Chains A and B, each alone.
Chain A
Amino acid sequence: MDEHSGSAFAFEGSWKEYAPIAFSNLLLTIVTLGFYRFWATTRTRRYLWSRTRFIDDSLEWTGTGLELFKGFLMVLALIGLPFLFLQFGVQALVIRGMGGVAGALAVSAVFLIFYLGGVARFRALRYRLSRTYWHGIRGGADDGGWKYGWSYIWKTICGMVPLYLMVPWSMISLWNERWNKMSFGPHGFIAEAKVRPVFMRFLLFYLAPFLLALGVFAVLATRGTWVGSTFLHTNYPPAIAFIAMLVIILGVYALLGLIALAYYAAFLREGIGALRLENIDFRFEATTDDWLKLFFGDILLVVATLGVGWLFLQYRHWKFFITHLEAYGEIDLDALTQSSTRESRHGEGLLDAMDVGAF
């Protein structure tokens, strides 16, 4: 099957069609004290996937709310209970004057959570692929991600040690490691993302301290201050000085956010652009401008609707992702046979629990 045009992926949903799902999800989540959220996530995904066309047919989400719920329970058992126990245990040890043991336990707890965070990242991707069908074929991974958890620890730490200079390397390297274990049908993904294309963007972060210093200086200037032995005096009325200060502080934050956005845009372009599946090459073409529009669109939507728009952010983000996702190449339908990877029985609860900032 040939795909000549650049629109192998297309999003065909509409927010009016999605609205009943969003509102009923909210209602049910509230009256069940949050327990419905696993089923709500599933309904939302089923809708978004089914409105995502790849070449001639839509994707299909076959995950269930129950398995997400089981994933959540697993998190409680795997991390929550030991964590609670450790928390109580560490304090008990400190009170008894066994600070050393307590410290060791606390450090190992942090590492355990760090490790499981890496594993969770891997398994979330695997779970999503294994529940995504196209033409009756699904993806997955044979690997459980337990080794990836170790890579996640040492690469993250190595990335931060030399003044954070290696962070792009650790992110790209982990991205490749993760995707190279994934497959769709019989074909493995091949990820060959390079550090160089994202590194220059990352260097922008090192301008941040200078921007910060500049910002602080400007803030002080609006209030009048001693610099060295000279008193900088301003004639602005206090209100204007205050507004100027606010603008400058917000400006520094905005600049930092902008750098992060620019870096992330480059990262995803490189990451997805270097991804291959058999004869298909992927592209992700969202520029920093596009991300900015998405970001400010989100804010505007939420503010203008007094918060109701929050329900539609997931929809917007998926639409954004699919709209900028492209694929080129050929698919041999006969050769695209069913995936032989094991299906994990539980959802990505591990990641969900970490993503909501549970720690």
Chain B
Amino acid sequence: MIETAVWHYDGRNANRWHPRLVGDAASFRLIGEGWESGPWAWVDLRALDIAGRDAVFGHATEPGWRIGFADGVIPADIVPLLPQRARYGGFIDRIGLGKASMAFAAVAAAALFVGLKAPGWIAPLVPQSWEDGLGDAMVGDFGGRICRTPEGDAALNALIAKVDPEGQARTIEIANIPMVNAIALPGHRIILFDGLIAEAKSPDEVAGVLGHEMGHVEHRDTMAALLRQLGLSVLLGGMNGTAGSNLNALLSLSYGREAEHSADLSAIERMKAANISPLPTADFFQRLDPLDDDRRDDKKAGKDGSVESEAVEAANWFGSHPTSRSRAELFTKAHVKGRAYTPALDSVQWQALKTMCKRDRNVKPAMGMGL
């Protein structure tokens, strides 16, 4: 038999009652002057964190229902029946703050690791048709900015036959955009920008860049990077700072050093199989590396007559790729002395490729791309 005095809010009006609590080890009743309530089960009580010295308990299902022990004085026979106060919430209270923190930190580290690696694991599992659909939805036909002439197409196909003999890419096209850039889009598509073709001094250089992008296509790096970005933006509550243009986002997708290195190896492999010299590509990298001081001086002297703005420079291929001389060296080392390399295209084909965007009368201008 348990009996003690408590104060009580019934959750129906704001009066504070002073009933007697009468009950046993399972439940109790509250008996006031002219009223009675219960039975209330001890297990339904919840310890509350209230200021002052009173010990206050609520009820799991009765909003506003409270009983309080004045000055925190609780009869000894009731103490074991009452719940403990929650501090941090949930299981943290059961195992303690220190252990819980370490457990959380371990889980967080694992989650970060998986979060960084998972896109690489998931990307190959995404059905090809989905990825194709995504790529088409994102860029379509580039708003009619894909350049086409019969001679140019023939030249491009000749280049593709050398760099992508197995036809791993769904489409490889040249867009009428004066940026020194190339991208691997979701859905096994590659777009070379006209600016890159214009900047290249030989078809071998274009073959090198194309080979590199083929590496990304082969390894499905674009899909992995997209997944990574999506995951990050969801994890971070997203949306902050990425509100820029989505094409820019694609251009600046970072695949990571490992992926870039494998793409370079793939390019070298492809060029070797096609008997294309890797030296021009090495030179191209060296020439256009934004960190290369020689080139800066060239620009200042206005040697090539083009005034590239900083913004355009930032948006070019080298803005999204690791800029290190080691990449150029990698291509230089792949060169075999004395080997009789053949050019990727003959000079007629090369001219056709270079002038394709200028000759195509139906192609839309690059303006309004939101770049």
Contact = CB atoms under 8 A, between A and B. Distances in A.
Contacts of A133: 63-64
Contact of A96 (B9, B16, B143): B143
Interface string A19-45: 000001001100111001001001100
Nearest to B106: A31
A290 B82 CA distance: 45
B113 to A, nearest CB: 12
Contact of B10 (A90, A136, A331): A136
Nearest to A130: B63
Interface in A308-334: 331, 333-334
Nearest to A72: B237
A94 B370 contact: yes
A133 B144 CA distance: 63
A99 B111 CA distance: 40
Contacts of A53: 51
A87 B251 CA distance: 16
Q: For chain A, what secondary structure do more than half of its interface residues adopt (helix, strand, loop), or is it mixed?
A: mixed
A185 B12 CA distance: 9
Contact of A28 (B50, B64, B101): B101
A247 to B, nearest CB: 33
Contacts of A27: 97, 101
A195 interface: no
Nearest to A91: B246
A31 B65 contact: no
Given A96-B141, A338-B12, A356-B237, A24 B88 contact: yes
B52 to A, nearest CB: 7
A284 to B, nearest CB: 22
A272 B16 CA distance: 28
A228 interface: no
Contacts of A84: 230, 233, 238-239
Interface stretch (B123-131, B132-140, B193-201, B335-343): B132-140
Contacts of B100: 28
A43 B86 CA distance: 10
Most buried by A among B16, B63, B107: B63
Contact of A95 (B63, B66, B140, B239): B140
A32 B107 CA distance: 8
Interface residues of B, number: 56
B171 interface: no
Contacts of B237: 72, 76, 80, 353, 356, 358
Contact of B139 (A60, A92, A136): A92
Chain A interface size range: 35 or more
B15 A333 contact: yes
A92 B140 CA distance: 7
Contact of A338 (B13, B89, B246): B13
A289 interface: no
Contact of B51 (A12, A36, A97, A335): A12
B40 interface: no
Contacts of A28: 88, 92, 97, 100-101, 104
Given A39-B88, A57-B16, A60-B48, 9 more contacts: A28-B97, A33-B108, A80-B238, A84-B239, A88-B246, A95-B140, A96-B140, A338-B64, A343-B63
22 contacts: A31-B104, A32-B108, A50-B50, A50-B51, A58-B51, A60-B48, A80-B234, A80-B239, A84-B230, A84-B233, A87-B243, A91-B247, A95-B143, A96-B142, A99-B368, A134-B14, A137-B64, A333-B13, A335-B13, A353-B237, A359-B240, A359-B243
Q: Which 3 A-B pairs have the closest CB atoms?
A: A136-B9, A91-B246, A136-B64
Interface of B: 9-16, 48-52, 58, 63-66, 88-89, 92, 97, 100-102, 104-105, 107-108, 111-112, 137-144, 230, 233-235, 237-240, 242-243, 245-247, 364, 368-370
